[in-house]
């Protein structure tokens, strides 16, 4: 799951928890009706509805904790990848300067080879004369 989706899911679950808390607050009023069918609730039914609502809240809270852990892992991975990216960029910069140095040395070797050939030709001519 992407970081954005995790954040959206966390926000949605937090909103649902708040809605459930409002529902519990309403149910704690002895004169409150059932939030679904709007019929009067006796104490036993009210307690059942409150318990189920608390359970829903707890499940949502556990999902939020899981999402937070996933977000932490993703953030840690992003940080690690950014560090690795910077290291690779530095290696590439070094590689560029090494390639330039290699090209410079290669050119010097070419020149040295040409000088050697000229020297051999010159010494050959001197032997002939």
Inter-CA distances, 56 with 12, 21, 62, 71, 111, Å: 14, 10, 10, 22, 81
Task: Name the DSSP letter for residue 29.
Answer: S
Largest CA distance in the chain: 129
98 with 106: CB under 8 angstroms? Answer: no
pTM over 0.75: no
In angstroms, the Cα distances linking 12 to 57, 90, 97, 98, 125 are 12, 42, 52, 53, 92
Contact 38, 96 (CB under 8 A): no
Domains in the chain with CATH codes: 3-104 (1.10.287.510)
For residue 33 the two structure tokens come to 């009706």
- Tens of pLDDT along the chain (129 residues) come to 788 998 999 999 999 999 999 988 888 887 777 777 778 888 888 889 889 999 999 999 999 999 999 999 999 999 999 999 999 999 988 888 899 999 999 999 999 988 888 888 888 777 766
């Amino acid at each position: 799951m992407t970081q954005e989706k995790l954040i959206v899911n966390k926000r949605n679950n937090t909103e649902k928890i708040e809605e459930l808390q409002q529902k519990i607050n309403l149910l704690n009023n002895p004169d409150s009706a059932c939030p679904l069918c709007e019929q009067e609730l006796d104490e036993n039914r009210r307690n059942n509805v409150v318990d189920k609502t608390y359970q829903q809240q707890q499940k949502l809270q556990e999902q939020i904790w899981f999402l937070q852990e996933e977000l932490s892992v993703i953030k840690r991975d992003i940080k690690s990848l950014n560090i690795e990216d910077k290291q690779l960029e530095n290696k590439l910069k070094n590689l560029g300067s090494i390639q330039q140095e290699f090209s410079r040395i290669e050119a010097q070797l070419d020149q040295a080879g040409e000088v050697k050939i000229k020297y051999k030709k010159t010494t050959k001519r001197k032997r002939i004369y």
